[in-house]
Amino acid sequence: DVVLTQTPPTSSATIGQSVSISCRSSQSLLDSDGNTYLYWYLQRPSQSPQLLIYLVSKLGSGVPNRFSGSGSGTDFTLKISGVEAEDLGVYYCVQGTHDPRTFGGGTKLELK
C-alpha cells in the first residue's frame, strides 16, 4: 500500500500567519492517464471531513482561495495564506492513484 507521511503532525499558528503542511508519498502519484490523484481534506472539531483541494491544486467548491495546493510525484504541500479561526482542525492528504486509496496520518492545526 502507498504510505502518505504528513509533516508536521501538529502545527501552531496565530491568526493571519501562513502555514504549510507537507505530504510525502512512498510511490509516485502520477497516474498513467496523466493526472495526479492527490487530495486534501479538513476535519474541524466534531465535524465530518470536507474536501479542500483535488488533483493536487484545484480548489474544492466554496473553498476560500487562501488555501492552495502544489507538488508533483511524491512531494505535495498544502499552504494556508493567512490562517483564520475557522481553519483550525485536522488536515488529511489522500491518494487515489493506487489501490487501495490511503490517507495520511493527519496534521492538527491549532492556535498558538
Partner 1 sequence: EVQLVESGGGLVQPGASLKLSCVASGFTFSDYWMSWVRQTPGKTMEWIGDIKYDGSYTNYAPSLKNRFTISRDNAKSTLYLQMSNVRSEDTATYYCTSTTVALFDYWGQGVMVTVSS
Strand partners for 82? none
CB nearer to partner 1: pick between 18 and 93? 93
Residue 48 CB neighbours (<10 A): 7
Taking the least distance from each CB to partner 1, the nearer of 32 and 46 is 46
Closest CB 50 distance from partner 1, rounded Å: 7
Q: Which residues partner with 90 through β-bridges?
A: 43, 108
Q: What type of residue sits at position 33?
A: D
C-beta of 101: minimal distance to partner 1 in Å? 4
The residues of the shown chain that bind partner 1, judged by CB under 8 A, are 37, 39, 41, 48-51, 54-55, 58, 60-61, 90, 92, 94, 96, 99-103, 105-106
Nearer to partner 1, 68 or 103 (CB): 103
What helix, strand, coil percent values describe the chain, rounded to 5?
A: 5, 50, 45
Q: C-beta of 98: minimal distance to partner 1 in Å?
A: 11
Cis peptide before 100 (omega within 30 of 0): yes
